Amino acid sequence: MSRYLKVAPYKKRKLRSGEWIIISSSGDPLIIDDYALHILCKKEVNPDLFDLPFINVLKESGFLVENCNRHSIPEEPTSFKFKLFSLFTLVIGITSFLGAIYCLFNEGLPFSTSIDLLITEPFIGILSLVMFSTLTTFLHEGMHLIYSNSLIQDNKFKINMTKAIATVSMTHVWTWSILGRIVAILSGICLDLFFLFSLLVFSQRMYFEYTSLFESVLITRIAWQFRVQNKTDIRLFLELISDDPFLFEQNTVPIKIMTLLGFLVNIFIILIWLVPLVNY
């Protein structure tokens, strides 16, 4: 006779498909039906009563454990102030996006000037690029921490020094409202767009030789998020609005087209730096 397994704390939300998405403290999302949800409503489960593959999936996803830990799962803030700031962030992001497109359409891309600066002043240029990129990366992820309510959560902020990236785990927002989900995912890009638009406006009124370099960093980062073949903010946003955490695992024509566009973004990022370098 198998030992009873405890049901770990979890959050749930009903998807448009009628199934349920559940999130454990491990952060792994799982889609289940009403029957499976009924099982998890119990405090303990006898694994002998169910199919082994089903039990293994629940164990691997952190929903069934031998010793139940009490790690909390971030709740969606419900205060009026938080919702107001959420809407304000989205408005700022959309306004900055439109403003940045207008400025870039009239002034052109800043990459030629950035390449000139990096070649003529390589040490100062590269140092400025690295410092600005690092600072804005942490601010980008800080927005995710704030709007995913993860500031006091353990192991939510991860730094990968080999890839020079920082990430925030946000799978728990799958159980939030549509506004909470969208803002948690897009808040980082909204901040990047605000910085970009501010720099573009600043460069039209005052001269600072490193402005173009900073603009190039932000344009590259924003474009980077559209590489939907990888786990990026835009990919997660598309999964959220489609209400399907496994959207990009489907072998459908729309997904193939979006994946192709993601690879084209890779080429675009290379070209916007390579072409000015070749033409230097």
pLDDT tens-digit readout, 105-134: 999 999 999 999 999 999 999 999 999 999
**Alpha-carbon radius of gyration of the chain:** 22
- State residue 156's pLDDT score: 55
Averaged pLDDT, 147-155: 73
Report which residue type is found at 19. Answer: E
The pLDDT value given to residue 222: 96
- Both tokens of residue 207? 């001269």
Does the pLDDT of residue 276 top 70, yes or no? yes
Kindly state the percentage of the chain with pLDDT values over 90.
55
Q: Taking 70 as the threshold, does the pLDDT of residue 79 lie above it?
A: yes
Least confident of 37-46, 138-147, 261-270: 37-46
Residue 53: pLDDT band by 50, 70, 90 thresholds? confident
From 1-10, 25-34, 92-101, the region with the lowest mean pLDDT: 1-10
Dump pLDDT digits (tens) for 155-202. 455 555 444 455 567 888 989 999 999 999 999 999 999 999 999 999
43 pLDDT above the threshold of 80: no
Tokens of 96: 């900055």
Percentage of the chain modeled with pLDDT above 70: 90
DSSP 40-95: HTSSEE-GGGS-HHHHHHHHHTTSEESS------PPPP--HHHHHHHHHHHHHHHH
- Per-chain mean pLDDT for the chain: 86
pLDDT at 89: 96
Q: How far is CA 215 from the centre of its chain?
A: 21
Residue 22: predicted pLDDT = 87
Q: What per-residue confidence (pLDDT) applies to 168? A: 65
Average pLDDT over residues 211-238: 95
Q: Which of 178, 151, 234, 233 is nearest to 16 (CA)?
A: 178
What is the distance between the alpha carbons of residues 111 and 100, in angstroms, rounded to a whole number?
Answer: 15
Helix (H, G, I), strand (E, B) or coil at 63: coil
Tokens of 36: 């499976």
Residue 191: the pLDDT is 97
Q: Phi and psi of 9, rounded to 5°?
A: -60, 140
Question: Rounded to whole angstroms, how far apart are CA atoms 95 and 7?
Answer: 45
Confidence at 1, pLDDT banded by 50, 70, 90: very low
Per-residue pLDDT, averaged over 66-89, amounts to: 83
**CA pair distance 112, 105, nearest whole angstrom:** 15
Determine the average pLDDT of the residues in 141-160. 74
C-alpha 186/C-alpha 234 separation (Å) is 8
